Amino acid sequence: MLSERWPLIIAGAAAFLGMTVLHYLCEWRVLTSIPHLGSEIGDVKKRRMAYIWGAPRLYGKGYKKRQLRHRRVSQVSQRAPETPLPDNVGSLQAALLEIVKAKHTNLSFENGMEIARIIKADLNPALVRLNPIIAEEVNEAFRRELQIGDDWTEFNCHGKVLGNISMISGKVVVGPELCHNEECLDAFIKYTTEVMTAPEDMLQWLMEAHLKPGKVDGIVCIEKLQFGLSFAAIHTGSLFTTKHALAESGGNFTSQALQKMKKLDNFLRETARVTPQGFTSFHRKLLKTITLSSGQVLPAGSKIEIPTISPNFDNDVFANSEKFDAFQYSRAREVALHEKGARAAGATAATQFISVSPTNLVFGYGRHACPGRFFAVNEIKIIVANVLLKSDVKNADPDAGRLPNVEFASMYTSDGTKSLLFRNIQLCPSSEGPAPTTAPSHADPRSVPKADQIASLVLQQFFSLPKKRKPAIRDTGVHEWTPLSSIVAERAGELRCLSIATGMKCLPAAKLKEASGNGLHDWHAEILAIRAFNHYLLSEAVKLSQSTGENGESFILQWATPADREAVSQPFTIRNDVKLYMYSSEAPCKNLYLPQSSSATSRTSLILIVSPPVQGGDASMELTMSAQEDPTPWVVPTSSDQGGAVPSASPSQLPGRQYFSNLGIVRRKPSRPDAPPTLSKSCSDKLALAQATSLLSSLASLLINPANAYLSALILPQPAYVPGAFQRCFSDRMGKVRNATWEGGYRFRPLNPLTTSVEFNFSKREVTARSGGKIAPCNVSAVWGTHSLEEGLVSGVIQGRKAFQERAASALSRRRLWELAVDAAGLLGEEGENIREALRGESYGSVKENGLLKARRRVKEAVWEEALKGWAKNAGDEGFTLGNNT
């Protein structure tokens, strides 16, 4: 019977085979009408090899011929047309299953939409709370995985990064126990790498999602979702982190702090543009045959994709697209800030790494854009920032340059066989030799500009202060800003931050008599930083005096030599090899306040210019003027303008906020037009005077020789510095005393400008950009210094204490510094008797008039007479006493 049926069976099989071949040939005929990329290369095998080792170039050719709306590409496996279609035409899930060869790897994306929903609904809103937890886990991962010392140590970064990211992501995905479990970590890493060659919060979210009616139930489903989440976190994070690194921020890794890392964000986005993880995106598998608008038929089962790398190198989209331009998005952001309303907000947001747009397809686009990008980007930033804040990094081969990426088919990845050298960060030149002279990498601290080193050191110290010492966001949504200043010393290549301070206010003249030595007259950041430096010096004098003989050790202070003591009376001197720097986040104040849209007090600057000053005018207040609708400088009004009542334009009578067309005059602190008058001079005028008198106060000058106590440089952020204005303030008007020397070790020491690219997160520029202009000055001043100095001040006294009471006196007040000087002098031997006698004055004023300070007074009088004319003393708080100063 069977033999009788063989002809029928054979005929049926032949018919089936014929129909199959015919179907294939028909489908092939449909696809052959689509132009083939690389057809000139040769047969399918050659085209596939060209794709494996040169996919970007093939995609680039097709993109340049984009008037032909679709192309075929011979990929590693099978034919696949590429066409720019909306992402909802085909199946994303089916395409992903085919990409990862789900039949063989047993990977499943059946719950992909559920994972996306959980990420959007639970993980992303919780990042504000989770970011500090992630940062804590980063520190732990670095401690466990990268045991870095002061000597260079070699690490295979690819493996270390994978391990760190799996541990860090696991802290949120699977909890604190399993994220440190070696078997679990190994499973997560292999689950990711072999396919692709809040502690309990995430687990709770997963379980809650699957306990709801209608949801798939069971531990197996939750396990699959956890592996899926780990897969996304490790794959997305590791490839970016091992490519480029740049950070210039410190402190706690809150969501707010991460948002402020704009340059790091821009750098990472540019890295993703030039070396993306993949060359294509929007993978879809057609579940049914479709016809394009051109008439081209795409049969069911075809895979489609978009070449996302090609627009990245399109000069119509990115100017000079072949060049790595780390901060092009920062420039675009600055332009966007000049827009108004929602348009400005949208344009600013579009420059962020996590944004999705036709020009940033790293995370996809549209409704299927990667929902976990917020978590991934935060994780990347925290890891990169930790590397750069804690470690120096360089190639094992110093001549190798940047390690090349591994390019395979449609993917970029780092070379897992390569290693880098790490050591603890050193902010000063090492003993390995002189700094390189040819285009060094900034991974080597010797190549980092001195100003950037100093600024970074200062910011690191500031961010270590308690949260209560820093500006905040008020309940009304107003963002606070504050200026920051610091004194940094350098000796034998080592930098040390000696004092930092914030603040921008001063005491009205009418309140001086009430201060009684307990209230500060001027708590602008620069002045507080200098007073904190004097506190440091007097404390060092106490330390040296308490040591055995002259064997005490101080970083910058030493006992004066016998030869020094023959010329001057002070027992201490600053070491000859010490250099002193001042960092300031804002240009030192000078001149007036101009009315702006906000009613808040404005700290204005001398070092800004927008339009040329009027003939004979001053370059001061130019920053403030640039913000006005009409930037023309105000001039001194005539009598006809004021009905005959005109204030005198003589320098001694000029208020701080008017008549700035006059050149080279001494000014008082800027303030609101309705603020009570003050006699405190502007910070720029005080710094100009310090070029002659040094940084030492009168009290410190009794004990310390001023010869080496001068600033070497003033470090300002680049936007706050204008050379011409700096020249006029600190050099031109000081011309008559520029080469002067005086008795007592005094001489004119010109102040040199240095600029830094490092920005303070709470500067007025940064806060304005971040808040859209809804800003106000911070009322709290922070003070820090060595010798356990750390205070918060409000209105010139310790925060929370009643004004001008003795218990409210800051360590930087006249009273407390006088007491500290008395303590230091009391520890001196017989040679200190004349200093002790001077400090026993009946009042603070009598101490300052003592004969030991005569040389200092003469220096000030000479400068006031020849350069800073019109200087009016801020008198009224000299009568207080310490009692029995013995």
Binding-site residues from annotation for heme: 370
The separation between the first and the last C-alpha atoms of the chain, rounded to the nearest angstrom, is 130
Q: Is 285 helix (H, G, I), strand (E, B) or coil?
A: strand
Locate 722 and state its tokens: 């204008």
What are the Cα distances from residue 850, in Å, to 529, 836, 846, 862? Answer: 26, 11, 6, 18
Report yes or no: 55 and 37 within 8 Å, Cβ to Cβ. no
Tell me how far apart the alpha carbons of residues 155 and 141 are, in angstroms, rounded to a whole number. 14
Structure tokens at 35: 């132009």
Kindly state the tokens that stand for 543: 């330390």
Q: Are strands 406-408 and 391-395 parallel, antiparallel or unpaired?
A: unpaired
Amino acid, single-letter form, for residue 801: R
Dist CA 647 CA 633 (whole Å): 18
- According to DSSP, residue 36 is labeled B
Are residues 756 and 454 in contact, defined by beta-carbon separation less than 8 angstroms?
A: yes
Give me the amino acid identity at 363: F
DSSP state of 76: S
Residues in the chain: 886
Distance CA 212, CA 125 (A): 20
Q: Who contacts 829 (Cβ-Cβ below 8 Å, separation ≥6)? A: none
Q: What is the DSSP string of 555-595?
A: SSEEEPPHHHHHH---SEEE-TTEEEEEEESSPPP-S----
Binding residue positions: 370
Question: CB of 801 within 8 A of CB of 513?
Answer: no
Partner residues linked to 714 by β-bridges:
582, 753
The phi and psi torsions of 884 (rounded to 5 degrees) equal: -90, 90
CA atoms of 275 and 415, how far apart (whole Å): 13
CA 711 to chain centre: 26
| Amino acid at position 75, single letter | Q
**What CA–CA distance (Å, rounded) separates 243 from 196?**
18
| Alpha-carbon span 583 to 411, nearest angstrom | 45
Question: Tokens 């600029």 identify what position?
Answer: 755
Cβ(503)–Cβ(483) under 8 Å?
yes
Q: What is the dihedral of CA 503, 509, 513, 516, to 10 degrees?
A: 10
Decide if 855 contacts 746 (C-beta within 8 A).
yes
Take residue 661 and report the two structure tokens written for it: 């067309």
Give the other-Cβ count within 10 Å of 870's Cβ: 15
DSSP-assigned letters across all residues of 326-380: TTHHHHHHHHHTTS-HHHHHHHHHTTSTT--BTTB-TT--GGGS-TTHHHHHHHH
CB burial string 542-575: b at 16+ within 10 A, e below = bbbbeeeeeebebbbbbbbeeebeeebbbbbbbe
